[in-house]
Amino acid sequence: MVTVVIAFAMNILVAVAKSVAAALTGSAAMVAEAAHSWADAGNEVFLLIAERRGARGRDRRHPFGHGRETYVWSMFAAFGLFTVGAVVSIMHGISALSDPEPDADYLIGYLVLAISALLEGVSFAQSVRQARAGGRRMSMSPLRFVVRTSNTTLRAVFAEDAAALTGLAIAALGMALHEITGEAFWDALGSILVGCLLAYIAVFLIKRNSEFLVGQVAMPSIRDDMLRRLREHPDIDRVTYLHAEYVGPVQFYLVAAVDIVGDLPEHQLASRLRSLEAQLEEDDVIVEAVLTLSTVDEPSLD
């Protein structure tokens, strides 16, 4: 939540600065960057909604809770990035190619880009810290963790901030080439490139959110940890099947086939299974646990 709030505050400040600079300079690349920042700011609202609604617990109509709703609202944010950020930037760049803007006030443009880079850097640093912490827990690099994590808001903020810093560099290069050559083509090209960058990020975020909505199994390290905990339980002799699927950010639906220690009567076995399920569900990350009995011929999982 802190990461999203910081990103929202920084994007509002950056969007205002870029909009003023775009009006004063007439730079196509600056217009694209302003659209980018306003899109990011709007997306943070969707991400805040996603965090709040996804945190609601289980109820009778939603036995797995509301965690998957996080991916729905994050999908809206990704679509917003694509339509408001990418499409507007590309269309404005194409328009500037046919109707070039006059020479811009480059000093104002460079100052605003520098200030924007500083503000975007503050937000990006926060998301990088969170990604590093998560990566250490999973023995992954921060970038790989961002790609694989079920925390869709972290992934969105990290990707948008990285794209924002890259877009600032593209805009600065476009303005510099416009100033050096006197050709507005470079400024317009910068706008188009920023739009293409945003389109790529948006498609990536849409794809990852859709994968979690359709059904994404737990990362191998998480599954292995769940298997280890089951095998170490004093009431479980062996585990022959294990399925762990995300039902929200760091929330799982767990199904396992186990062999209970001893040779208990049927009614005692049923009670033991229900007790084990309840114990597993005491862990906040396991929303629902379903245990069945293994058959004699089923091999144990390694």
Of 214, 248, 271, the last residue of a domain is 214
Per mean pLDDT, which of 122-131, 161-170, 194-203, 238-247 is the most reliable? Answer: 238-247
Q: Is residue 148 part of a domain?
A: yes
Among 187, 214, 241, identify where a domain stops: 214
Residues 136 and 281 in one domain: no
Q: Which residue has the tokens 């199904």?
A: 255
> What's the mean per-residue pLDDT of the chain?
84
Contacts of 10 by beta carbon, 8 Å cutoff, 6+ apart: 119, 120, 122, 123
Residue 38: inside a domain: yes
Predicted TM-score (pTM) of the model is 0.81
Q: Are residues 94 and 191 in the same domain?
A: yes
Residue 299 in domain: no
Whether 65 is in a domain gets the answer: yes
Burial class (CB in 10 A: 0-12, 13-18, 19+), 116: buried
Same domain, 95 and 134: yes
The predicted model gives 101-128 an average pLDDT of 79
State whether 179 and 254 are in the same domain. no
Does the pLDDT of residue 107 top 70, yes or no?
yes
Summarize pLDDT for 140-197 with one digit per residue, the tens: 899 999 999 998 888 988 988 898 889 889 888 888 888 888 887 887 888 888 889 8
Domain containing 102 equals 1-214
- How confident is the model over 59-68, as a mean pLDDT? 78
Q: With cut-offs at 50, 70 and 90, classify the pLDDT of residue 48.
A: confident
Residue 103 in this model has a pLDDT that exceeds 60 = no
pLDDT at 110 over 80: yes
CATH for 225: 3.30.70.1350
Residues 225 and 197 in one domain: no
Looking at 157, 183, 214, which one is the last position of a domain?
A: 214
Decide if 301 is inside a domain.
no
| Domains contained in the chain, number | 2
Q: What is the CATH number of the domain that holds 50?
A: 1.20.1510.10
Q: Whole-angstrom Cα distance, residue 149 to residue 251?
A: 12
Based on the fold, state whether residues 138 and 238 are members of the same structural domain: no
Provide CB contacts within 8 A for 213, sequence distance 6+: 68, 71, 72, 75
CA separation for the pair 122, 15 (Å, rounded): 15
Asked if residue 300 is part of any domain, the answer here is: no
**Residues 297, 284: contact at Cβ < 8 Å?**
no
Shared domain for 125 and 250, answered yes or no, is: no
Same domain, 158 and 257: no
Condensed to tens digits (0 to 9), the pLDDT of residues 246-289 reads 998 889 999 999 988 877 777 788 888 999 999 998 888 899 99
Answer yes or no: is 126 within a domain.
yes
Q: Tell me the C-alpha distance between 156 and 289, whole Å.
A: 29
Tell me: do 242 and 93 sit in the same domain.
no
pLDDT for 104: 58
Residue 298 lies in a domain: no
Residues 180 and 235 in one domain: no
Helix segments in the chain, DSSP class H: 2-25, 28-54, 69-80, 88-98, 106-138, 142-148, 152-181, 185-214, 220-231, 266-281
pLDDT band of residue 121 (cuts 50, 70, 90) is confident
Please indicate whether residue 55 or residue 232 has the higher confidence score (pLDDT): 232
Regarding whether 234 and 185 lie in a shared domain, the answer is no
Residues 154 and 269 in one domain: no
